[in-house]
Structure 1
């Protein structure tokens, strides 16, 4: 477990328009196995609105909920000749012919421009990103280290529900905690990071603070004093 501050120069996100069938990063040299399904929640933004996003390798299409589409005032493009029915994210089959292009931000480096379906799904999140998004964007899930990996080894921490923290086992040798996004903290300023109450065993984990020329953290309190 680590925490700290970092001085960084001002950065600007770049825009990336995804094309169907394109393969970027890790996926460019990998064959996708549909028998292996992984799902994970991350915190991101859609058209500059922060929201939880479900990354699902078992879904071959991406969809935004009807309620979130209304909140974003999306202009639907409906084509009766181009429609799909989807199973597994609603009560029975969900039929839709409405699509729209949205801007999805994961992390701070890249904003993806991508076309999604609009449908009344019941996945518990506003946006589902399937393999039609993840493969062209070069995104892969790393549940062992509780991260989603983007090209150039950019890591996005996974998030879990409160009940999941209490019932699911801990995977890997790292504890994913702290902020859910990169922080740009000015010099001589303070940032407080709240850690979850359920702490890992002291037999397998220990708290540590990293100090270099770029990182100047101060540990105020831990369970050991």
Structure 2
């Protein structure tokens, strides 16, 4: 097989990976070491918000205190049990529609679950990331 057999353009760089290595991951697993999460600043309902894009989350959650602050109507007849890190069950408080603005001009209207969060105003899971094309 030629190195450019599947390429649509000229190959600029070739990477040789050792068995067990993956590009973009750390070489040695360190269970006690914490890694900083990548967060973005955007707007939810025209208010500045810290957003965590979580490819490991199936659903998106907006912080309940923040949702009330920005005037979201919370439908408490809908609740969702979620399982997060450590397999602890987490019950949402309801569901709401939010307006998410990214990069100043990309605007999405989206239904999200509402729950207690710390460290960010929203976790945007795969139910947001895939349809948004992120």
Q: Are 2:75 and 2:96, in contact at CA under 8 Å, matched by a contact in 1? A: yes
SS of 2:71 mapped into structure 1: coil
- 5 Å-filtered alignment, 1:148-163, equals none
Determine which of 72, 89, 93 is the counterpart of 1:93: 89
Q: Are 2:50 and 2:120, in contact at CA under 8 Å, matched by a contact in 1? A: yes
Determine the C-alpha separation between the residues in 2 that align with 1:91 and 1:73. Answer: 32
Superposed displacement of residue 138, structure 1: 0.1
Q: How many residue pairs align between the two structures?
A: 99
Superposed displacement of residue 70, structure 1: 1.8
Report whether the alignment pairs 1:116 with 2:112. Answer: yes
Superposed displacement of residue 96, structure 1: 2.3
How well do the aligned residues superpose, as a CA RMSD in angstroms?
A: 2.3
Specify every segment of 5 or more residues in structure 1 that has no aligned partner in the other structure, as ranges: 1-35, 140-225
Determine the C-alpha separation between the residues in 2 that align with 1:47 and 1:117. Answer: 15
Determine the C-alpha separation between the residues in 2 that align with 1:121 and 1:52. Answer: 11
- 5 Å-filtered alignment, 1:145-224, equals none
- Change in CA separation of 1:117 and 1:90 when aligned onto 2, cut-off 3 Å: farther
Which aligned segments of 4 or more residues in structure 1 are displaced greater than 6 angstroms? Answer: none
The structure with the largest strand share of the pair is 2
Aligned to 2:16: none
- Normalising to structure 1: TM-score of the pair? 0.40
Determine the C-alpha separation between the residues in 2 that align with 1:75 and 1:90. Answer: 31
Determine the C-alpha separation between the residues in 1 that align with 2:62 and 2:87. Answer: 16
Determine the C-alpha separation between the residues in 2 that align with 1:70 and 1:91. Answer: 28
Aligned to 1:137: 132
Aligned to 2:47: 49
